């Protein structure tokens, strides 16, 4: 009887030690290693392709990581409808939920608004696609997986020059959007030194973004061989259709906001034939990691992932690497995790789908190389 009682007591003590992670060992449950990861993006409205791509890819990465040893994540992704005020409301919902680390916001204007909140609350954030420099400015805990807008503008001008795509260039841009204006500004600054003659410089804003006949006619009449479109895909899709109706067929050159146009509902993809854009991700790559991601994404969501999805996937895996390297535990405060993430991201190198050997500066901007893509037969094809 005494032996039986001793055995029962011994078993109780073993279970207690396991449950508590006795002697400082790793807890048997992953609960203490499950970090609350939040983010906002447009899941409804005209920019929903971007938000859904980020949400889907983040979910895929979280599911893969949660099947491994090490840190785990609980993901909460809120709809902000590409609206700054709604993004702040969504952020507050995530904060009340207990968010410890953030994916920021998907599009630039909402991301500028939520980055101010995460900075004040000392919650570390890395956005997959909020590319405005205003996201980072004055905020030591805000990082980007995407290129900054200035980098996209100057890189586009350099690419057009290096590939001898044109000398006479038109630019159509959106003047009330920080994303479009940021790219436009640096493109215009770089173009003269590269021998690019901007013969047509026209713009538009919300409320005047359905009829582009004036902008198209100006570019056409001035002999622009290439039209640079620093904008998202929705207005670009209308420009392509209206230019075709006007009999104007220049080379079209876009930036990462153009990625996703092939899955825009109701869009005739033949209108985008020959469109060139710079992006850090090529879904047609022969790289084994890219092929595995594309296959998994397509199997789960029924479509080819775009650059926004790839950047989001990289964000989650970068968090895994940084949290494990810093030996963070989920019982740490968001502020303590934030300090650890700043130290890790400014010192580590990360290999992902969108770049090898990626690094970040103290300003939160990423260093990686863009790739040229062209749309052919309704698919993206790498140029580099």
Residues whose CB is less than 8 angstroms from the CB of residue 49 and which lie 6 or more positions away in sequence, other chains included? 233, 260, 263, 264, 306
Map residue 95 onto helix, strand or coil: helix
pLDDT at position 32? 55
Rounded CA gap, 304 and 228, in Å?
25
Asked if residue 123 and residue 161 are part of one domain, the reply reads no
Asked if residue 239 belongs to a domain, the reply is yes
User: Which of the four pLDDT bands, split at 50, 70 and 90, describes residue 360?
Assistant: very high
CATH number of 186's domain = 3.40.50.2300
Is there a single domain that holds both residue 230 and residue 249?
Answer: yes
pLDDT: is 12 or 105 the higher one?
Answer: 105
CA 64 to chain centre: 19
Of 83 and 370, the one with more pLDDT: 83
- Domain identity same for 270 and 301: no
Instruction: Report whether pLDDT(196) > 90.
Output: yes
- The predicted model gives 147-160 an average pLDDT of 88
Position 12 in a domain: no
What are the beta bridge partners of residue 202? 172
* Residue 326 lies in domain: 33-147+287-368
- In whole angstroms, give the CA distance from residue 18 to residue 22: 6
Is residue 26 included in any domain, yes or no? no
**Do 157 and 275 fall into the same domain?**
yes
State whether 162 and 274 are in the same domain: yes
Does 384 map to a domain? no
On whether both 161 and 263 belong to a single domain, the answer is yes
Q: Which residues pair with 39 in a beta bridge?
A: 77
Residue 371: pLDDT band (50, 70, 90) is confident
* Tokens matching residue 303: 């479509």
Q: Domain boundary residue among 279, 297, 324? A: 279
Strands (E), the chain: 34-41, 72-79, 101-105, 124-127, 142-144, 168-174, 197-204, 226-229, 251-254, 276-279, 350-352, 355-360, 366-367, 371-376, 379-382
Same domain, 46 and 108: yes
Q: Looking at the structure, do residues 81 and 163 belong to the same domain, yes or no?
A: no
| Structure-token pair, residue 90 | 């969504």
Per-residue model confidence as pLDDT tens digits over 303-340: 999 999 999 999 999 999 999 999 999 999 999 999 99
- Residue 10 in domain: no
| Residues 360-383: b if buried by 16+ CB within 10 A, e if exposed | beebbbbebebbbbbbeeeebeee
Give the integer Cα–Cα distance in Å for 190 and 168. Answer: 14
Task: Specify if 25 maps to a domain.
Answer: no
Q: Which pLDDT belongs to residue 346? A: 98
Is there a contact between 109 and 40 (Cβ–Cβ < 8 Å)?
no
Q: Look at the pTM and tell me if it is higher than 0.85.
A: no
For 375, list phi and psi in degrees, rounded to 5.
-90, 120
Mean pLDDT, the chain, integer: 90
Three-state DSSP at 141 gives coil
Domain assignment present for 329: yes
Same domain, 88 and 157: no
Residues 327 and 224 grouped into a single domain:
no
Percent of the chain past pLDDT 70, that is, above it, reads 91
CB count within 10 Å of CB 295 equals 10
Considering the domain architecture, whether residues 102 and 209 belong to the same structural domain is answered as no
Residue 4 has pLDDT above 90, yes or no: no
Q: What is the pLDDT of residues 115-151, one digit of tens each?
A: 999 999 999 999 999 988 899 999 999 999 998 877 8
Cα separation of 224 and 221, whole Å?
8
Of the listed ranges 68-82, 279-293, 343-357, the one predicted with least confidence: 279-293
CB burial of residue 347 (10 Å; 0-12, 13-18, 19+): exposed
Q: What is the dihedral of CA 147, 199, 234, 53, to 10 degrees?
A: -20
- Looking at residue 211, the DSSP 8-state letter turns out to be -
Q: How many domains does the chain have?
A: 2
For the stretch 97-100, contacts whose Cβ atoms lie closer than 8 Å and that sit 24 or more positions apart, written own/partner, are 97/36, 97/38, 98/36, 99/36, 99/37, 99/38, 99/123, 99/334, 100/35, 100/36, 100/37, 100/330, 100/332, 100/334, 100/337
50/315 Cα distance (integer angstroms): 15
Write out the DSSP string of 280-325. Answer: S--TT---HHHHHHHHHHHHHHSS---HHHHHHHHHHHHHHHHHHH
Q: How far apart are the first and last CA of the chain?
A: 77
Of 55-59, 177-181, 255-259, 352-356, the poorest mean pLDDT is in 255-259
Q: Are residues 193 and 123 in the same domain?
A: no
Identify whether 376 is part of a domain.
Answer: no
**Range 183-209 average pLDDT:** 95
Above 60 in pLDDT, residue 2?
A: no
Neighbours of 43 (CB within 10 A): 20
pLDDT in tens, 8-40: 333 333 333 333 333 332 333 334 589 999 999
Average pLDDT, integer, range 270-275: 96
Between CA 233 and CA 211 the distance in angstroms is 15
């Amino acid at each position: 009887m005494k032996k039986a009682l001793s055995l029962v007591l011994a078993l109780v003590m073993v279970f207690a030690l396991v449950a508590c992670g006795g002697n400082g060992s790793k807890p048997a449950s992953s609960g203490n290693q499950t970090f609350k990861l939040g983010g906002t993006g447009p899941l409804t409205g005209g920019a929903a392709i971007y938000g859904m791509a980020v949400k889907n890819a983040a979910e895929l990465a979280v599911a893969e990581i949660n099947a491994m040893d090490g840190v785990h994540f609980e993901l909460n992704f809120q709809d902000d409808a590409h609206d700054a005020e709604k993004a702040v409301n969504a952020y507050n919902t995530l904060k009340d939920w207990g968010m410890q680390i953030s994916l920021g916001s998907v599009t630039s204007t909402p991301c500028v608004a939520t980055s101010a909140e995460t900075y004040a609350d000392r919650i570390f954030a890395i956005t997959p696609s909020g590319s405005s420099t205003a996201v980072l400015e004055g905020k030591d805990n805000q990082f980007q997986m995407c290129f900054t807008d200035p980098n996209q503008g100057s890189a586009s001008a350099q690419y057009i020059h290096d590939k001898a795509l044109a000398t006479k260039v038109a630019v159509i841009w959106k003047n009330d959007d920080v994303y479009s204006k940021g790219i436009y500004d640096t493109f215009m600054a770089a173009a003269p030194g590269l021998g690019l003659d901007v013969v047509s410089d026209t713009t538009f804003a919300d409320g005047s973004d359905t009829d582009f006949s004036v902008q198209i006619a100006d570019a056409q009449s001035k002999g622009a061989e290439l039209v640079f479109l620093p904008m998202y895909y929705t207005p670009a899709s209308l420009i392509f259709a209206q230019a075709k109706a006007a009999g104007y067929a220049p080379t079209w050159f876009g930036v990462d906001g153009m990625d996703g146009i092939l899955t825009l509902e109701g869009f005739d993809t033949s209108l985008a034939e020959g469109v060139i854009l710079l992006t850090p991700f090529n879904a047609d790559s022969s790289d084994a990691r890219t092929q595995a991601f594309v296959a998994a994404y397509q199997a789960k969501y029924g479509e080819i992932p775009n650059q926004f999805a790839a950047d989001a996937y990289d964000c989650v895996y970068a968090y895994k690497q940084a949290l494990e390297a810093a030996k963070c535990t989920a019982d740490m405060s968001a502020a303590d995790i934030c300090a650890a993430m700043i130290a890790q991201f400014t010192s580590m190198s990360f290999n992902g789908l969108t770049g090898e050997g990626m690094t970040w500066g103290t300003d939160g901007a990423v260093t990686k190389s863009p790739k040229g893509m062209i749309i052919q037969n309704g698919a993206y094809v790498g140029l580099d």
